[in-house]
Amino acid sequence: MQPDAPILLFDSGVGGLSVLAELRKLLPQAPVIYASDQAGLPYGTKTEVQIATRVAGLLGRMSERYRPRLVCIACNTASTIALGMVREVLEVPIVGTVPAIKPAAAMTRSGVIGLLGTAATVRQTYVDNLEREFAVGKTLLRHAAPELVEVAEAKLRGGPVDRKAVAAAVAGLRNQPGGERIDAVVLACTHFPLLREELSENFGSDVALIDGAEGIARRIADLTRGQEFARTGPDRAITTGPAEYLEALRDSLTRHGLDRIERF
């Protein structure tokens, strides 16, 4: 393993920066490439076949070019659909993003949990299985809020937050039978923690907002334990779309230690 072999974080957009922020706390010395499939955004409206083939194909080509030591799919939608296929294609450790239903079920006192995700994530059998395994005796209410992806990206660009969209997403959970008893909400999209403040204002301070970023960072640290890290250049953000997309986010990327922008 070369010391400068990067950790590759992959997302459809820039929601995975919430994962990168936690990873920096544990492995500040690790070289990172952040890959944004902006040309494929949004994933939540695509079919399972489209997502699986696109993600597996892109990560295969990126792995050939960048030779990462580990790949993290920092996207709930891509992970719940494509994780198995990617693990068959690549010969490096793969870390996926799992909706944090287990910790939410352990935390709830009312027994009612909310889940916000994209349309593709919310309907996945993968989520059904997590509910059966970890939330027995609990009620899991789901709501698809794909519009929050663009709201989060607009916030990162320094634009105004569409608070009506945030309020509508919260109402999508609260207005379901039993929704008034929700005391824990799973943020099942890596974009959504970027709106934690706005979501908390709408849910109220008595509702815990739970995402998997810390757990993902710990898993990456465990899998790379004992490895040598050395940077030979600045950490990069790459995009499958126009470079202008990331240029508009340069300030946010720089705050996350990503000092170079490239087109893939």
pLDDT tens figures, 77-95: 899 899 999 999 899 999 9
Separation of alpha carbons 30 and 23, rounded Å: 9
> What's the token pair of residue 176?
């379901």
Separation of alpha carbons 73 and 82, rounded Å: 9
> What's the token pair of residue 77?
């939608």
Separation of alpha carbons 193 and 76, rounded Å: 12
> What's the token pair of residue 95?
């870390």
**Is the pLDDT assigned to residue 37 strictly greater than 80?**
yes
**Over the stretch 92-150, which tens digit does the pLDDT of each residue have?**
999 999 899 999 999 999 999 999 999 888 988 989 999 999 999 999 999 999 999 99
Cis peptide before 42 (omega within 30 of 0): yes
> What's the token pair of residue 85?
């296929």
User: How many Cα atoms are found within 13 Å in the side-chain-facing hemisphere of 114?
Assistant: 28
**Is the pLDDT assigned to residue 155 strictly greater than 90?**
yes
Which amino acid, 27?
Answer: L
Separation of alpha carbons 43 and 77, rounded Å: 7
* CA 94 to each of CA 1, 25, 35, 36, 89: distance values in angstroms, whole numbers, following the listed order: 16, 20, 15, 17, 11
| Spatial strand order in the sheet of 112-117 | 139-144, 112-117, 184-187, 208-210
Measured over the CA atoms of residue 151, residue 152, residue 158 and residue 163, the dihedral's sign is positive
Q: Residue 157, exposed/middle/buried by CB under 10 A (0-12, 13-18, 19+)?
A: middle
Phi/psi at 125 (5° precision): -60, -30
Enumerate the active-site residues: 75, 189
| Residue 263, H or E segment | strand 260-263
Contact 77, 118 (CB under 8 A): yes
Average pLDDT value over all residues in the chain? 95
Residue 124 CA from chain centroid, whole number: 16
Where do the domains of the chain lie, and which CATH numbers do they carry?
Answer: 7-97+214-263 (3.40.50.1860), 101-211 (3.40.50.1860)
Query: Considering the chain, what percentage of its residues have pLDDT values greater than 90?
Result: 88
pLDDT band at 218 (very low <50, low <70, confident <90, very high): very high
Task: Fill in the DSSP letter of residue 5.
Answer: P
How confident is the model at residue 46, as a pLDDT? 83
- Region 218-224 average pLDDT: 97
* CA 77 to each of CA 105, 190, 248: distance values in angstroms, whole numbers, following the listed order: 21, 9, 24
How confident is the model at residue 245, as a pLDDT? 87
Contact 71, 63 (CB under 8 A): yes
**Over the stretch 161-201, which tens digit does the pLDDT of each residue have?**
999 999 999 999 999 999 999 999 999 999 999 999 999 99
Contact 23, 48 (CB under 8 A): no
